[in-house]
Chain A
């Protein structure tokens, strides 16, 4: 099992938001193919700590592909070569002698905090602008009083699986968060509960998206290719359709 890969890691290091930052090169040895990518970085950090160099800062939390906290550009690809999150990427996707370049998410709306850690607060602010259904606690009707056609419920679920990691933004040449916004618009817009605010929601969320400095969508599709949850590109069509309807209605 311990096949022991030796790797060269070129890693972005930046001491803080105002530092210019640069790529540093590190060697790691004896990496097992059963390790996750982040465990490989844990190994490197233990080595750095032992020799008195400050460990590399990177985000991760659940390490089971659902919280959306991990966020690395690996050899220029958001979350690396597989369709999954960085924490679920394993070293068996690499081979002995590989050189791996690791960078933070790159987007002007995601400023770097330190090393590989970025600030994704802009995504929270987009949700605050309208990514919800207004339903105060206690005011809800009986759950089965409003049936939801199964196909609509399925589509809502399929796009509600977005984990808010920001890979779509990092992958997009325009730094657009249209896939993220489209997923939320589609999730809530497919459900009967989401109808009363459907059109104000899309206008407000798109407005906030643009205000945060995310770029526009030019239908390149890198976002959907990078999405670890395989959110389909058609949520952006839904977004545009709902936006057009909203504007026609005078929102």
Chain B
């Protein structure tokens, strides 16, 4: 139970100084371990690697599959698709989710679409171009082999979803429609109005429910995984809490798959669902799975701003709005509280058009987000005062309405405008919208090899929970692609290679690894309920989120990150002595659920700050103030940081160990971005 410190940790710089490049900002906060590498991607031309791996991965005879059991945690696109596919193949699958139904996983909220290199528009798209765009979009911090495979299987995903009855948008001739998305120059995005994630998830969910009826998949809803069981060097099961009865349950299997999503809720306010959490991944990390690039966070520029301290989550609006809306703030601070319609043209600062004349309002997500924060930090934000600042900028459709007419704007953006009005009570046809960036997705996650296996043998990680495909920044419409690629087409092939060695020696509940895992879960639950302090779980979560947003958000500095680490350590120590969790262990207890998640967010938050401190470069979705060009743009350092930072957990006060995986590009040349 080393996760319950009884003393406050302070930043201690007396640890062994690791050797690194010119700067070592994180010296004292980590130690350097052996390099790590992906041993599974075959050598040879990039276009042949996946075919080679599929051929070389050992097979499992159909008669043996029913003797093998698989636990899958999470029922989003990655988990639901994997459960369906592995069930169809004849394995025994146990599927877990914390929601009341598998259909509610947060993949459902994705709006825009899913990329696939079908080249239906004959506009020059190809597997290689999708691969190229994804690596470039990730700012050359993703693993080339994985991304190529993602692009390669993307075409199969669309076929599969159409066969399941996913109602994609179609043209009058009855064929599938595509649109261009996120600034790419080809139309490769398939969509179902603004509800693509919902329709894809329902497809995967229905396929999985079909396997439940067939008896190959058993579902455990309202169950939360609280520990992974690692016995004799292999992941062999999980400890889960039945959230209705409070019972702590042991589930054993031959292999465990985590498809448990991202950890954006470490920021408290994000576009994630209320229940989205890091606990499954973090528990695995504590048992030996390396956490890769945890500081890589994507902040989406077009969200509805915070309206007050009560805010519980943020809602994203499709960034397609930037195609026609113009972003501005008042030039003068004293205008910020005026009705925007009364501010004359010459007193408005269309700052993106000013700073980036060629891309204007369509600059990439990270730039649009960072500049919005900058103008608000200068005191030129608009909307309600939240804390010390007004956190909002105008997204104005007045010109578009004048140019195209209100009806044309309505036709394009009707549902988004309605959603905005429902949440803010303001009519965006008459008053400019207000937007502000929000945490939306995390590119970091558990480290996996080409087979999607973590550093714990038998523990596979898919979807947003792993780190593999998006580098330092994810392109629009690529999250759905990755989730379904992993679940339908990648994991089912790679997991069989591992399972061909099974069934593994039977273990039961008396195995010391099971006893230890169960005891740690039971002790933790008892501890959280026994503290009986004075502060609610939410109040801690909000404070942690505030620290993360200020110091480990869009723009980071070494000084700020060190400060954040101290603040998080102090807050975490306070949590374990002063949190107030009411209710009992043996019933539905939402405060208890939240407390366990927030406890893990503290530890993750600290590691994110250490990772961000170490990475003294501006890259992808994040900006290090110490690493910028003369005109204030992001500056990457490929000579020092073209690696995956894979962190190993250490017990007690020992700092985490950094293992570097060098990123080697054979099919693509690294370039700096420029949007000026």
Contacts from A to B (Cβ < 8 Å)? 1-2, 15-16, 32-36, 38-40, 42-43, 46, 49-50, 52-55, 57, 59-69, 82, 84, 88, 90, 92, 113-114, 117, 119-121, 123-124, 127-129, 131-144, 146-150, 153, 156-157, 160-161, 163-164, 187-188, 191, 193-194
Q: Are B492 and A137 in contact (CB under 8 A)?
A: yes
A-B contact pairs, 10 of them (CB 8 A): A2-B308, A42-B310, A43-B310, A57-B588, A65-B419, A132-B209, A140-B159, A140-B164, A157-B169, A160-B192
Judge if B49 is at the interface, Cβ distance under 8 Å: no
Give the interface residue-count category, chain B: 35 or more
Q: Are B206 and A46 in contact (CB under 8 A)?
A: no
Judge if B106 is at the interface, Cβ distance under 8 Å: yes
Judge if B675 is at the interface, Cβ distance under 8 Å: no
Question: How far, in angstroms, from A17 to B558 measured CA to CA in the complex?
Answer: 53
Q: Are B106 and A147 in contact (CB under 8 A)?
A: no
Q: Closest approach, in angstroms, between the C-beta of A169 and any C-beta of chain B?
A: 14
Q: Are A124 and B101 in contact (CB under 8 A)?
A: yes
Judge if B115 is at the interface, Cβ distance under 8 Å: no
Q: Are A143 and B162 in contact (CB under 8 A)?
A: yes
CB nearest neighbor in B for A162: B202
Judge if B213 is at the interface, Cβ distance under 8 Å: yes
Task: A131-B206, A135-B207, A144-B175 given; name 10 further pairs at CB < 8 Å.
Answer: A67-B108, A68-B103, A88-B422, A124-B209, A128-B210, A137-B81, A141-B163, A150-B171, A157-B192, A193-B163
Given contacts A35-B308, A134-B210, A160-B199, contact A62 B159 (CB under 8 A): no
Question: How far, in angstroms, from A144 to B158 measured CA to CA in the complex?
Answer: 9
CB nearest neighbor in B for A56: B590
Q: Closest approach, in angstroms, between the C-beta of B93 and any C-beta of chain A?
A: 13
The contact of A39 among B163, B312, B492, by CB within 8 Å, is B312
What residues of A have a CB within 8 angstroms of the CB of B147 in the complex?
none
The contact of B384 among A1, A16, A88, by CB within 8 Å, is A1
Q: Are B192 and A61 in contact (CB under 8 A)?
A: no
What residues of B have a CB within 8 angstroms of the CB of A61 in the complex?
99, 104, 106, 273-275
What residues of A have a CB within 8 angstroms of the CB of B236 in the complex?
none
Given contacts A42-B538, A187-B167, contact A128 B582 (CB under 8 A): no
Given contacts A61-B275, A66-B109, contact A161 B198 (CB under 8 A): yes
What residues of B have a CB within 8 angstroms of the CB of A43 in the complex?
310
What residues of B have a CB within 8 angstroms of the CB of A59 in the complex?
100
Q: Pick the 4 closest A-B CB pairs, nearest first.
A: A147-B174, A140-B163, A132-B206, A135-B163
Given contacts A61-B275, A62-B108, A137-B84, contact A191 B210 (CB under 8 A): no
Question: How far, in angstroms, from A148 to B198 measured CA to CA in the complex?
Answer: 20
Q: Are B536 and A49 in contact (CB under 8 A)?
A: yes
Q: Closest approach, in angstroms, between the C-beta of B207 and any C-beta of chain A?
A: 6
Question: How far, in angstroms, from A39 to B452 measured CA to CA in the complex?
Answer: 38
Q: Are A1 and B193 in contact (CB under 8 A)?
A: no
Judge if B172 is at the interface, Cβ distance under 8 Å: yes
Question: How far, in angstroms, from A135 to B205 measured CA to CA in the complex?
Answer: 13
Given contacts A49-B591, A128-B213, contact A188 B310 (CB under 8 A): no
Q: Closest approach, in angstroms, between the C-beta of A179 and any C-beta of chain B?
A: 16
What residues of A have a CB within 8 angstroms of the CB of B108 in the complex?
62, 66-67
Q: Are B588 and A113 in contact (CB under 8 A)?
A: yes
Q: Are B274 and A137 in contact (CB under 8 A)?
A: no
Question: How far, in angstroms, from A1 to B209 measured CA to CA in the complex?
Answer: 46
Question: How far, in angstroms, from A84 to B421 measured CA to CA in the complex?
Answer: 13
Given contacts A1-B308, A49-B582, A143-B159, contact A67 B104 (CB under 8 A): yes
What residues of B have a CB within 8 angstroms of the CB of A64 in the complex?
109, 271, 313, 315-316
Q: Are B582 and A127 in contact (CB under 8 A)?
A: no
CB nearest neighbor in B for A33: B425
Question: How far, in angstroms, from A137 to B275 measured CA to CA in the complex?
Answer: 29
A-contact bits for B136-174, CB 8 A (1 contact / 0 none): 000000000000000000001011111111011111111
What residues of B have a CB within 8 angstroms of the CB of A188 in the complex?
165
Given contacts A61-B106, A63-B273, contact A117 B588 (CB under 8 A): yes
Q: Are B195 and A66 in contact (CB under 8 A)?
A: yes
A-contact bits for B68-79, CB 8 A (1 contact / 0 none): 000000000000
Q: Are B274 and A63 in contact (CB under 8 A)?
A: yes
Given contacts A32-B307, A63-B312, A153-B167, contact A137 B88 (CB under 8 A): yes
The contact of B163 among A69, A114, A133, A150, by CB within 8 Å, is A133
CB nearest neighbor in A for B588: A114
Q: Are A129 and B213 in contact (CB under 8 A)?
A: yes
CB nearest neighbor in A for B194: A66
Judge if B85 is at the interface, Cβ distance under 8 Å: yes
CB nearest neighbor in A for B85: A137
Judge if B221 is at the interface, Cβ distance under 8 Å: yes
Most buried by A among B163, B175, B197, B308: B163
Question: How far, in angstroms, from A39 to B274 measured CA to CA in the complex?
Answer: 12
Judge if B489 is at the interface, Cβ distance under 8 Å: yes
Q: Are B308 and A193 in contact (CB under 8 A)?
A: no
A-contact bits for B259-279, CB 8 A (1 contact / 0 none): 000000000000101110000
The contact of B174 among A35, A62, A68, A150, by CB within 8 Å, is A150
Question: How far, in angstroms, from A187 to B425 measured CA to CA in the complex?
Answer: 33
What residues of A have a CB within 8 angstroms of the CB of B536 in the complex?
46, 49-50
Judge if B517 is at the interface, Cβ distance under 8 Å: no
Question: How far, in angstroms, from A1 to B167 measured CA to CA in the complex?
Answer: 42
What residues of A have a CB within 8 angstroms of the CB of B84 in the complex?
137
Question: How far, in angstroms, from A156 to B193 measured CA to CA in the complex?
Answer: 12
CB nearest neighbor in A for B275: A61
Q: Closest approach, in angstroms, between the C-beta of A15 and any C-beta of chain B?
A: 7
Q: Are B104 and A133 in contact (CB under 8 A)?
A: no
Judge if B580 is at the interface, Cβ distance under 8 Å: yes
Q: Are A132 and B207 in contact (CB under 8 A)?
A: yes
Q: Are B582 and A55 in contact (CB under 8 A)?
A: yes
The contact of B106 among A67, A90, A191, by CB within 8 Å, is A67
Q: Closest approach, in angstroms, between the C-beta of A54 and any C-beta of chain B?
A: 5
What residues of A have a CB within 8 angstroms of the CB of B7 in the complex?
none
Q: Are B313 and A121 in contact (CB under 8 A)?
A: no
Judge if B296 is at the interface, Cβ distance under 8 Å: no
The contact of A121 among B101, B167, B271, by CB within 8 Å, is B101
Q: Closest approach, in angstroms, between the C-beta of A44 and any C-beta of chain B?
A: 11
Given contacts A2-B308, A135-B160, A150-B174, contact A191 B100 (CB under 8 A): no
CB nearest neighbor in A for B206: A132
CB nearest neighbor in B for A119: B100
What residues of B have a CB within 8 angstroms of the CB of A127 in the complex?
205-206, 209
Q: Are A144 and B164 in contact (CB under 8 A)?
A: no
Question: How far, in angstroms, from A35 to B309 measured CA to CA in the complex?
Answer: 10
Judge if B427 is at the interface, Cβ distance under 8 Å: no
CB nearest neighbor in B for A43: B310
What residues of B have a CB within 8 angstroms of the CB of A82 in the complex?
422
Given contacts A49-B591, A114-B588, contact A67 B167 (CB under 8 A): no
Q: Are B213 and A160 in contact (CB under 8 A)?
A: no
